[in-house]
Amino acid sequence: MRLLAGEPGAREIREQLRSLRSAGRALRARPTHALYGPLGELLDAFGAERSAARDALAAALAANSGFSGAVLREGLRRGFSAWTAASLRELVELELRTGAQAATAAPPGRRTARELLGFETTATFLAGSIPMPTLLEVVAPLALRSPVLIKTSAGDRISAHRIAEVLAGIDRELGECVRVADFAGEDAACTQAACGAACVIATGSDESVAALRARVGSSQRFLAHGHRLSLEVLGAAALAPRELAGWAERIALDTSLWDQLGCLSPIAVYVVGADLAASARLASALARAFADAEALLPRGAVPASALARASFELAEAEMRAAGGSPVEVFRGSGASFAVVREADAALRPTPLYRFLRVHPVADADELLRALAPLGPQLACAGVAGFGEADAALAARLLALGASRVCRPGELQSPPLSWPRDGRPVLRSLAREVSSELRD
């Protein structure tokens, strides 16, 4: 990996954008089947039940991503499992029906209806070290015939290169439509150069996003994916003796994958309509499930700050228990996980790295009130145990701000069509245009 830096790096990035513009001409001329075919192959290469590409990626990441090898293998397997050629076709059908046809079929000047066009170039600034989103950040712009520059994150200088290589192996010309740039996020010259793309996608913290937004002009498209959080909500039926352990295992899986660091990782479990004893049983079951999960999916590296924060929060919870509050603390050996059975719905800090709070709430109204401050940051909610009321609760969570509701155990396997942050996957990267000229 060669880290670009300063003005020489910026020159190289401007050159990459020039070459992408050039490659884009051929890309835009491609017939539909010659575009979605290879992109589907790329998805299948990583999503197949047995995938050499995925195994190689997991192995390469194990050395420096901070995640354990088992978490990488299982996280990628589950994450990519629903991302297939078929799901790409469905996504295109769902979001680009008119645009896909018009962009390929109609010559300039003869378009008569609204259509969707990809930007001349797209630049994506990745963040963090969870590799899954990288594949989508490559596929989505290309599906709109927009060549893409991927700026890797300090935490993952590997995935984008690997994905680009696999794509080039499938279709060399399409591979020319992806460029990967490694440079430090603080490098102003390189960042400014990469922001020369017509469409800029920023991921990361509010500060990172704001810094990029300031570099993008008003004539460019700017799209941001900030940090988000997820949670799980269980109803009484999920707490029945025969159900409890199963849901606890699924929640522990959702949490353990990516060490609770992803936006689809739950930070808390809300138990609706159950008494304290039921939430205590769930907390206890979760502790057992986490201990089992640790054997299969060992936690990766944890920074001292997170360990210190977890220790602080656990001591604080124990102090509340000592003060008479019905709070209970479950610790994994070597601080490998923590579960805190809370006495109420009050939001409390979550240090992540497998630290889960279980909150009892009286009913859905109290749940929604408790979650109201999180609404804008909510990504996904895992819901189970409400019987026929599942759908009604899902609707209320979506109205609150979540962009996805699913079953516990499925949080880390989002469909390709998941409208992350409430935005369409492809359409948000497109220009919608119309012509009033008729044949």
Binding residues vs another protein (CB under 8 A) = 65-66, 127-130, 133, 153-155, 203-205, 225-230, 258-263, 265, 267-268, 303-313, 315-316, 318-325, 334-335, 347-352, 373-374, 377
Q: Which is nearer to another protein, 174 or 425 (CB)?
A: 425
Residue 309: strand, helix, or coil? helix
Q: Which is nearer to another protein, 17 or 261 (CB)?
A: 261
Residue 266 CB, nearest approach to another protein (Å):
9
Residues near 197 by beta carbon (within 8 Å), at least 6 away in sequence:
17, 119, 121, 122, 123, 149, 220
Q: Which is nearer to another protein, 101 or 311 (CB)?
A: 311
Helix H or strand E segment including 203: strand 199-204
Residue 375 CB, nearest approach to another protein (Å):
10
Buried b (16+ CB within 10 A) or exposed e, 111-124: beeebbbbbbbbbb
Q: Which is nearer to another protein, 313 or 410 (CB)?
A: 313
Residue 259 CB, nearest approach to another protein (Å):
8
Q: Which is nearer to another protein, 129 or 403 (CB)?
A: 129
Q: Which two tokens stand for residue 306?
A: 């997170």
Residue 75 CB, nearest approach to another protein (Å):
11
Strand partners, 402: none
Residue 23 CB, nearest approach to another protein (Å):
29
Q: Which is nearer to another protein, 108 or 323 (CB)?
A: 323
Q: Which is nearer to another protein, 197 or 263 (CB)?
A: 263
Q: Which two tokens stand for residue 380?
A: 């996904």
**Look-up: residue for tokens 């797209």?**
122
Residue 323 CB, nearest approach to another protein (Å):
4
Q: Which is nearer to another protein, 41 or 344 (CB)?
A: 344
Strand partners, 150: 124, 180
Residue 192 CB, nearest approach to another protein (Å):
21
Radius of gyration for the chain, computed over Cα atoms and rounded to the nearest angstrom: 23
Q: Which two tokens stand for residue 148?
A: 């893409």
Residue 132: strand, helix, or coil? helix
Residue 127 CB, nearest approach to another protein (Å):
6
Q: Which is nearer to another protein, 144 or 310 (CB)?
A: 310
Residue 196 CB, nearest approach to another protein (Å):
25
How many Å apart are CA 373 and CA 391, to the nearest integer? 22
Residue 302 CB, nearest approach to another protein (Å):
9
Q: Which amino acid is at 437?
A: L
DSSP state of 420: G
Q: Which is nearer to another protein, 39 or 160 (CB)?
A: 160
Q: Which two tokens stand for residue 130?
A: 């969870």
Helix axes 32-47, 85-105, angle to 10 degrees: 160
**Burial of 308: CB neighbours in 10 Å, binned 0-12, 13-18, 19+:** exposed
Residue 55: strand, helix, or coil? helix
How many Å apart are CA 170 and CA 46, to the nearest integer? 12
Residue 265 CB, nearest approach to another protein (Å):
5
How many Å apart are CA 220 and CA 240, to the nearest integer? 53
Q: Are 289 and 354 in contact (CB under 8 A)?
A: no
Q: Which is nearer to another protein, 111 or 354 (CB)?
A: 354
Q: Are 155 and 147 in contact (CB under 8 A)?
A: no
Closest CA to 182 of 198, 159, 201, 207: 159
